[in-house]
Amino acid sequence: MDFLKYMDGLNELISSLLPYTEWPMFILLIGGGLFLVFYSRFAPYRYFGHALAVVSGKYDDKNAKGDVTSFQALSAAVAATVGLGNISGVAIAIHDGGPGVVFWIWMTALLGMGIKFYSGSLAIMFRATDAEGHLQGGPMFYITKGMGKWAKPMAVFFSICGMIGFLGVFTANQFTEAFMGVVQPHETIFATSEYNWKLGIGFFLAIITSIVIFGGLTKIAKVASAIVPFMVGVYLLAVIFVMASNAGDVWPALKMILVEAWNFDTMVTGGFWGLVIIGVRRAMFSNEAGLGSAPMYHGQSKNDEPTKEGLVAMLGPFIDTIMVCTFTAVVIILSGAYLEEGSGITMTMTAFEKTLYGMGDVLLMIIVTAFALSTLFTYSYYGVKSLSFLTTPKIGKWYNVFFVVMVVFAAVASLQLVKNLIDLSYALMVIPNMIAVLYLSPKVNAASKKYFKKLKEGGA
């Protein structure tokens, strides 16, 4: 088919551009993340308990401006990150780099907590009101308001890349693969071509997604805050049961991660540094730290205190990467699924099928459905904000039409094309966002110093 040939050509073009984005992304995420951790004097980690209290609603200010609560903002942001990136993204990382890549995912996530503390704070610190009277936050606004008009080209560049990066193509692609994995054993019953099946799944996802995303932020936040705790809970219960049933294999799996992380003779393209870069890429895809997406939600929280929102944002990488990704990785390794053919969601489904008495793939399919839908609901909003910044909020809403069309496209596209498209877009978005976060970090430190002083005095 000409369409498939076109996709192969597009994939080759994107693949040729990827190497030029690796090192800028690596330096800004790892180097910048390390700087922020020390510059903050480890504040995000020292106040972890306080962050939990804030997200529980203990410190909510009913008079604060904004459209959603901090809990809803975190739920929406986590809904966009705790999803197929944590189920199939980890599998892709292990497939491409071996078990040792998980260690570098952890390291990037720990640094990501520091990055999100700063970017979440900036989202509140530099908010703007759009033409419809709604408060808006995110990289576009803290770049232009915080750095000045001279930096606006960076904000424009971020928004253009965001319109591609925030498409739900990876989620749609991997949901389709998961569904096909369940259907294919019954292909005598479902006697339809694979392409038509994928196309049908794409249309199904597009219709369900349309119902929610055209309802706006409030509807997205309400749905996300209802789905996220449930889907995370069910998934964690499933993996904990697997780990408990195979308790003797858990430590060897973790040991393999630690040992292979320092394998300087790795067969990964690029050697040891190639292994590290895979970990950085997949961690960024998992928790989006440094990407600048979560601040778009946190910028609309009913919260006038930047540091408080920064602490809430910091919880994202801990939940979706340190917890969920680790559990996924351990199940994949102890099941031996990583030694078999296949990547992405098919590898994870094999792991669950092996460890949950042959029914794990069906259970995972149910969980994946919840993950996929919640991620699609939340991701569309990022793209709307990107287009709205470039044009107007009225025009920005038309992004949802493009988003829905691309869901169908992704269902029939190859995993390699989808993965490369997202990796390139994300790497390009990291550059302007991390430059802004580092540039404005002294302002966050000044605000947090006042907040923590007030907290100690009992006035926060």
Domain extent listing, the chain: 2-456
Topology of 2-456 in CATH?
A: Amino acid/polyamine transporter I (1.20.1740)
Position 80 scores a pLDDT of 57
433 vs 312: CA distance, rounded Å: 19
The predicted pLDDT at position 184 comes to: 59
For residue 98, what are the contacts with CB-CB under 8 A and spacing of at least 6?
A: 260, 263, 266, 268, 275, 338
What's the whole-number mean pLDDT along residues 134-144?
Answer: 88
Least confident of 142-146, 200-204, 335-339: 335-339
d(CA 91, CA 441): 34
Termini Cα distance of the chain:
62
Between CA 437 and CA 86 the distance in angstroms is 25
Alpha-carbon radius of gyration of the chain: 21
Alpha carbon distance 227, 396 (integer Å): 26
372-397 pLDDT, tens digit per residue, is 777 787 788 888 889 999 998 889 88
Question: Which has more confidence, 342 or 11?
Answer: 11
Q: Which phi and psi (to 5°) does residue 128 adopt?
A: -140, 160
> Quick one: pLDDT at residue 360?
75
Name the average pLDDT for the chain.
82
Q: Is the pLDDT confidence value at 25 over 90?
A: no
Predicted confidence at residue 446, as pLDDT, reads: 95
Main-chain dihedrals φ then ψ at residue 404, nearest 5 degrees: -65, -40
238, 352 contact by CB (below 8 A): yes
Q: What is the pLDDT of residue 356?
A: 81
Packing angle, helices 194-213 and 360-390, rounded to 10: 60
